[in-house]
Amino acid sequence: MPFSNLPPLLSSALTERGYEAPTPVQASVLEPQAIGRDMVVSAQTGSGKTVAFGLAMAGELLGEEGQLPPPRLPMALIIAPTRELALQVSRELMWLYAKAGARISTCVGGMDASKERRSLSHGAHIVVGTPGRLRDHLERGALDLSALKVAVLDEADEMLDMGFREDLEHILDASPPERRTLMFSATMPRPIVALAKRYQRDALRISTVGEDRGHGDITYQAMAVAPSDIEHAVINLLRFHEAETAMLFCATRDNVRHLHASLIERGFAAVALSGEHSQNERNAALQALRDQRARVCVATDVAARGIDLPTLSLVVHVEMPRDAETLQHRSGRTGRAGKKGTAVLIVPYQRRRRVDMMLRGAKINAEWVPVPSPDDIRANDRERLIVALLQPVEVDDEDRALAERLMAERSPEDIAAMLVHAHRNAMPVPEEMLDQGAAQRPERNDGPRAGFEDTVWFRMNIGRRQNADARWILPLICRRGHITKNEIGAIRIGQNETMFEIPRVASQRFVAGLSRSSPEEADDVAIEAIQGKPDLPQGGAPRGGSNDRRPPQRREGGPPQRGGAPTRPTMRARRPQGQ
């Protein structure tokens, strides 16, 4: 439906901005049953919700005459979780209500509070702010909400996650009870429902999540990797896509810090955003992304709220989101304003089934693809280099003089090769991924493979009952024994134990590596050498096994935590009690 039933001033602003028809969330708040009512709206990032609540409150602001009164006490209040989101909302409402002559005051942390108080004292139709700063102005008497007609809570779920519940309640308690209250939230956890029940009356429930989810502008991909290869997968994804701007999502600030440091070490121009960064640091990071001095942003969910980067074309879920709504909200940072975007989920092998269920429930069609290999990346690099090096450039006399000197010293082929070499050297090196097939390679019937004619077998005290899986056992063996995957032969997983072979020439070094393992590396998994070749049944699973032990507690991203102690002497480093 067109915007024909809106006040002419708003219709004109939308037309000039290029709007032809409302998005699903905008159409929903303009339906007859929504007029004048409290609303709880579930809508994703990029769905046009800022314009939606701007249109929804037009009746209270403009009235029947379609005009705003002179600015006095605020008529509308929009509360957002972060400074960036509040400023973004303010900019959107400025153009939407510009023809109506709206005066909008923005009150956010990190800005001059005295200037904000002066702005409020001069009168405002709409106030946009963050919870902490708004409460501060209320307590100082600078903000008077006695004439408030509409209150909007934008990203309400994140404000509660960030601990703003008390501030929100203080602000809403200070406003007239007859006001309209509009709550916009990407997800609807129980605290949001409780807040709506307390501060809303007969609220209309609107959800456009199903309509917005998985839209055609975002291509979803998922790739299963060994837990130890997650960081390598991130490196290769960044190198494969070479996106103008990429955003990597981690679950905690510690993981943001670690991944950011790893990227910087490898030569990526990266910035970090998490709760531990000051407002000045956030501003500097965002400016670096907008200026293209940085191309990668590593962030937590909360820290990334309200960030709008037009050049963002790649989102990587380095750690899985807690639910489908968060997945869509993260991914919605890309594929905006008609542009194409890619969202990639990096999934530890053992969590693939859970991710499949999440994607099916969310009706997101994600393609499972392998991690880009170094060969794939080098092939893309060749094409990108040719395009980049053939771009027309302006040269001056000094450039030409230097070129002539080079031509006198080297052939054109040599100069071109050196130019390519210089460009390649500026690129971070791709990572070799775990050979997935090697972890589960069956024994050949025509004899052992080269280098494995004489081997020593070892036993681990975990098996199928403990969710043992060759895809994470292989990197565990490499880490504990300080060997490479090419030095590991057959792996046989039994009911309660796992056996594997090491070439005899490498076995002493492997045993020495086991003895040097720290308690943190041991993971409560015992490894011991056994005499001779074990009696393996047809199919590869060992017969018998160690005494039955209770199943372990799984630890995300690694092997199980053992609940019982082994019954034989082993080469292991026990984890100290209490850790």
62-76, 149-163, 181-195, 205-219, range with the lowest pLDDT: 205-219
Whole-number pLDDT of residue 577: 37
24-28, 210-214, 447-451, range with the lowest pLDDT: 210-214
Structure-token pair, residue 150: 């509409």
* Residues near 350 by beta carbon (within 8 Å), at least 6 away in sequence: 467, 469, 472, 554
Which carries the bigger pLDDT value, residue 187 or residue 525?
A: 525
Residue 337 has pLDDT above 80, yes or no: no
Which carries the bigger pLDDT value, residue 524 or residue 35?
A: 35
150-164, 387-401, 563-577, range with the lowest pLDDT: 563-577
Other residues' Cβ atoms within 10 Å of the Cβ of residue 263: 22
Strand partners, 460: 498, 527
- Report which of 479, 483, 501 is spatially closest to residue 226, judged by C-alpha positions: 479
pLDDT tens track for 502-555: 988 888 889 988 887 665 555 678 899 998 777 654 444 333 333 333 333 333
6-20, 213-227, 340-354, range with the lowest pLDDT: 213-227
Report yes or no: 41 and 206 within 8 Å, Cβ to Cβ. Answer: yes
Structure-token pair, residue 454: 């004489």
Tell me the pLDDT band of 575, cut-offs 50, 70 and 90: very low
Report yes or no: 455 and 489 within 8 Å, Cβ to Cβ. Answer: yes
pLDDT tens track for 353-382: 889 888 888 888 899 999 999 999 999 888
pTM here is: 0.54
Whole-number pLDDT of residue 269: 94
Residue 401 has pLDDT above 80, yes or no: yes
Decide if 8-212 and 218-372 have a common fold. Answer: yes
Report yes or no: 499 and 542 within 8 Å, Cβ to Cβ. Answer: yes
Three-class SS state of 26: helix
Q: Compute φ and ψ for 439, nearest 5 degrees.
A: -70, -25
Whole-number pLDDT of residue 61: 92
Judging by DSSP bridges, how do beta strands 150-154 and 270-273 pair with one another? unpaired
270-284, 392-406, 538-552, range with the lowest pLDDT: 538-552
Strand order in the sheet with 270-273: 270-273, 296-299, 245-249, 312-317, 341-348, 218-225, 367-368
Tell me the pLDDT band of 210, cut-offs 50, 70 and 90: low
Whole-number pLDDT of residue 181: 95
Which carries the bigger pLDDT value, residue 128 or residue 386?
A: 128
Q: Which residue has the tokens 């869509």?
A: 328
Segments making up each domain of the chain, as ranges = 8-212, 218-372, 376-425, 434-579
Whole-number pLDDT of residue 51: 92
DSSP letter assigned to residue 554 = P
pLDDT tens track for 226-260: 887 899 999 999 999 999 999 999 988 899 999 99
Mean pLDDT, the chain, integer = 81
Whole-number pLDDT of residue 209: 62
- Report which of 102, 104, 88, 105 is spatially closest to residue 45, judged by C-alpha positions: 88
Query: d(Cα 114, Cα 102) in Å, to the nearest integer?
Result: 21
For 8-212, CATH number out of 3.40.50.740, 3.40.50.1820, 3.40.50.300, 2.40.50.140 equals 3.40.50.300
Chain-centre distance for alpha carbon 104? 32
Report the share of the chain in percent with pLDDT over 70.
84
Domain 218-372: homologous superfamily in CATH: P-loop containing nucleotide triphosphate hydrolases (3.40.50.300)
Q: How large is the average pLDDT for residues 179-197?
A: 86
Give me the count of residues in the chain: 579
* Residues near 216 by beta carbon (within 8 Å), at least 6 away in sequence: none
Structure-token pair, residue 527: 């490894």
Whole-number pLDDT of residue 570: 36
Q: Which residue has the tokens 């609940």?
A: 563
pLDDT tens track for 431-449: 877 544 333 333 444 456 6
Q: How large is the average pLDDT for residues 273-293?
A: 86
Q: How large is the average pLDDT for residues 163-175?
A: 92
DSSP letter assigned to residue 491 = E
Query: d(Cα 412, Cα 251) in Å, to the nearest integer?
Result: 51
Other residues' Cβ atoms within 10 Å of the Cβ of residue 336: 18
Q: How large is the average pLDDT for residues 337-346?
A: 82
Residue 2 has pLDDT above 70, yes or no: no
Q: How large is the average pLDDT for residues 42-62?
A: 85
Report the share of the chain in percent with pLDDT over 90.
33
Other residues' Cβ atoms within 10 Å of the Cβ of residue 570: 18
Which carries the bigger pLDDT value, residue 197 or residue 283?
A: 197
Residue 5 has pLDDT above 80, yes or no: no
